[in-house]
Structure 1
Amino acid sequence: MFFVLDCSVGISWCLQDEDNTYANAVYNILSGENQAIVPAFFGLEISNVLWVAERKKRNTREQSDAAIAMPQALPINVDAIAVTETITATLNLARQYNLAVYDAAYLELAIRAGILLATIDDRLAHAAQNLGILLEDPDLE
């Protein structure tokens, strides 16, 4: 299976104080023969959340440095299409579903690639569910 991986799922693996059954199931299927694809900014988004967690004392620098390696070790591909080619569709999705543009970029990628989206972000999950592209239960796929 090939699917879009949202930062909300990936960051759940990186922060010790977050434990999510859905995110854990996605991790387990990625540890097998499945692959994910992410927008080019995914690594920056993960890094930003880790940095904010450090500033809020949720994570130490050492924990963040170790955590950043986890997604890098998984079969996660980066979308090769330039943002300039997708920005109009992404902005329109953000408007339509009242999403942050960054979240809409994950939705745009899933629509364009014709694949499912794995997310634990409620608003993004609702939009993906409306479009029939939400990875509902990774254990059942």
Structure 2
Amino acid sequence: MLLVIDVSVMASWHFSDEFRVESHSLLDSLERQIRAVRVPGIWWFEIRQMLLKGERRRRATQLQTEQFLLFLRVLPIALVEDLDADAVLVLARRHQLSFYDAAYLELALRDNIALATLDQALARAAASEGVPLIAA
């Protein structure tokens, strides 16, 4: 089963203070290859930004960041580079989202697949657009 997962969910996999049972259940399904993930091309930049912020706030060490990045590489995550930037911009404007968050929504809409997010604004936008949400 394919789905889109945003960085907010992945942060809960890495930072202990953001631990959520639902997010880790989702991670378990990825590790067992039950699910596969599609993410927009900006994902590698966004995930690294989140990890770098965590280091700067002393929530993780550089070694923990490097280990997490290696871990992510073995998960069934497919990078999608051919997003419709105009459609992303329309969604960002319509739902008051960042361009980055709207990219996840556009991908889920275009591929007609579910979205997992902990971001409330993105979840509301997805629900408004009829995108199925996965509890994370």
Q: TM-score, normalised by structure 2?
A: 0.91
Q: Which amino acid aligns with 2:103?
A: A
TM-fit CA distance, 1:69: 1.7
Query: Any idea what the Cα deviations from partners look like across 1:85-130, whole Å, max 9, x if unmatched?
Result: x111001100101101100000000111111111111110111122
Q: How far apart, in 2, do the equivalents of 1:75 and 1:44 lie?
A: 18
Q: How far apart, in 2, do the equivalents of 1:131 and 1:28 lie?
A: 28
TM-fit CA distance, 1:70: 2.1
Q: Who is 1:106 aligned against?
A: 104
Unmatched segments (≥5 aa) in structure 2: none
Aligned mate of 1:96, from 94, 97, 100 = 94
Q: Which amino acid aligns with 1:11?
A: A
Q: Which moved more, 1:18-27 or 1:104-113?
A: 18-27
Label 1:21 to 1:132 Cα distance change in 2 as closer, same or farther (>3 A).
farther
Q: How far apart, in 2, do the equivalents of 1:61 and 1:95 lie?
A: 36
TM-fit CA distance, 1:53: 0.9
Query: Any idea what the Cα deviations from partners look like across 1:15-41, whole Å, max 9, x if unmatched?
Result: 233201231122122123210100011
Map 1:1-141 to 2 at 5 A. Answer: 1-32=1-32, 33-81=34-82, 83=83, 86-137=84-135
Q: Which amino acid aligns with 2:36?
A: Q
Structure 2 SS opposite 1:49? helix
Asked if structure 1 preserves the Cα contact closer than 8 Å seen for 2:15 and 2:60, the reply is yes
Q: Which amino acid aligns with 1:107?
A: L
Aligned residues: 135
CA-based RMSD of the aligned residues comes to: 1.5
Q: How far apart, in 2, do the equivalents of 1:130 and 1:28 lie?
A: 28
Q: How far apart, in 2, do the equivalents of 1:36 and 1:112 lie?
A: 14
Q: How far apart, in 2, do the equivalents of 1:111 and 1:77 lie?
A: 16
Unmatched segments (≥5 aa) in structure 1: none
Q: Which amino acid aligns with 2:116?
A: A
